Amino acid sequence: MSTAPSPATPPNSALFTDQYELTMLQAALHSGAAHRRSVFEVFARRLPAGRRYGVVAGTGRLLEELAGFRFDDAQLSFLSDRGIVDDATIAWLADFSFTGSISGYPEGEVFFPNSPLLTVESTFAEACILETLILSILNHDSAIAAAASRMTGAASGRPCIEMGSRRTHEESAVAAARAAVIGGFASTSNLEAGRRYGLPTVGTAAHSFTLLHDSERAAFEAQVASLGRGTSLLVDTYDVEQGVRTAVEVAGPELRAVRLDSGDLVAQARWVRQLLDELGNTSTRIVVTSDLDEFAIGLLASAPVDSYGVGTSLVTGSGAPTAGMVYKLVSRQGDDGAFVSVAKAAKNKVSVGGRKQAFRRFDERGTAQTEVIGIGTTPSGHGRDLVHQFVRHGEVLPGWTGAEAVTRAAARHQESMAELPGAVRRLQRGEAVLPTEYEEAAP
């Protein structure tokens, strides 16, 4: 992974929000409550159906957006011209910059129901207008990272390549590539993701390149002449067996890989491996693509496949396109200045009030046993704290953005998965692999 990518300049995202964030702000300014110190928390009440864990991703992107989160003249004019908020609110937005603090689970960390994934401490006004941006980034990226983690687990060490750019929005494609690498993917086909975050990029040719030429041989000869014998040749445009033979004749034993994109991949990979070996290309690898997901990858475990290219299923969360996270006020100052725990009590949407800390408790063998959430207290025992500081008094702390953050998050994910019970890698539907418990401060 590159350590010095070109810096990215995120677009101004101040209006990437729901209108009610700003109308709430206006009403709170009117009532005088807008300036009350408040604690907001991001958590998921439940995991997607049948999933055993979630994966945090997107925090680095959020922090990058936060650095430039300002309301410019054009945006303020839009709000004023449409009558969305009043002049007093426009004046407040014109001077806005975030001055609070943000902490939470680091990217790559696994999580479970009710884990306090992100905590925003600031005035109500400052925290309120960040809600939509926070949830849109974390819900998308965490869904992709969780799908990626399940796929790389099923791959059992064989590299996975993210190649879903053509199946999602252009900016979502960049975010998905980043999240996929956090979840264990080795590389991406997306060049902008490579530029912004230093991700390894790969890619050679599609079927159209073969169809462009008068013959498959002519196409292979052109690709090898341009990219070298260490390229990957797509061998299933016409007849796979003839494609493999032609690829070997053109590139010789130095051919890096052949790619299979259709048919019965398990059976095909086996006889293609045998054919390559018979032709003397024992070092030529087999890459498979074609609408793979974690279940298809699991079925290919017994086949002589060297790597997997995954697109549509990955960038749509493999059946769970959102992580189901919510953003709730859990504590705020009262008129006397003291903090008061607050919670939502609506049926099926209950929240737990109070400022929280999180701790993962281990057994004597070093295997995680419980996710412990302390309300107004710091849990103790054999294990580790899960919450880190990202922003202090409006300043984004170093190490949590850019390429460095992705490298750090990918490593965190590997370490977190290694701590969990073996059941975490099962693809069958099941309950969360760790229970969540609460500890409250003594009265």
Q: What integer pLDDT is reported at residue 11 of this predicted model?
A: 66
Q: 162 forms bridges with which residues in the sheet? A: 188, 310
Instruction: State the pLDDT at residue 2.
Output: 45
Asked whether 322 and 300 are in contact (CB, 8 A), the reply is: no
Q: Which pTM value belongs to this model? A: 0.94
pLDDT digits (tens, 9 = 90+) for 235-267: 999 999 999 999 999 999 999 999 999 889 999
Using the structure block, give the residue that is written with the tokens 């692999």. 433
Domain range annotation of the chain? 32-129+324-440, 145-319
Q: How far apart are CA 137 and CA 54, in angstroms?
A: 15
What pLDDT band is residue 199 in, cutting at 50, 70 and 90? very high
CA–chain centroid gap for 18, Å, is: 22
Nearest Cα to Cα of residue 97 among 396, 400, 394: 394
Please give the pLDDT value at position 5: 54
More confident site: 335 or 217: 217
Tell me which CATH homologous superfamily contains domain 32-129+324-440: nicotinate phosphoribosyltransferase (3.20.140.10)
Q: How many other C-beta atoms lie within 10 A of the C-beta of residue 218?
A: 13
pLDDT tens digit sequence for 32-54: 999 999 999 999 999 999 999 99
409-430 pLDDT, tens per residue? 999 999 999 999 999 999 999 9
Rounded distance between C-alpha atoms, residue 362 and residue 381, angstroms: 8
Q: Mean pLDDT throughout 296-309?
A: 97
Helix (H) or strand (E) holding 368: strand 368-375
Structure tokens at 77: 């004019």
Position 12 scores a pLDDT of 84
Q: Could you give the CA distance from residue 337 to residue 37 in angstroms, rounded to a whole number?
A: 9
CATH numeric code, 145-319: 3.20.20.70
Percent over 90 (pLDDT), the chain: 90
Mean pLDDT over all residues of the chain? 95
The pLDDT score that the predictor gives to residue 377 is 84
pLDDT for the residue numbered 90: 98
Question: Cα(83)–Cα(86) distance, rounded to whole angstroms?
Answer: 7
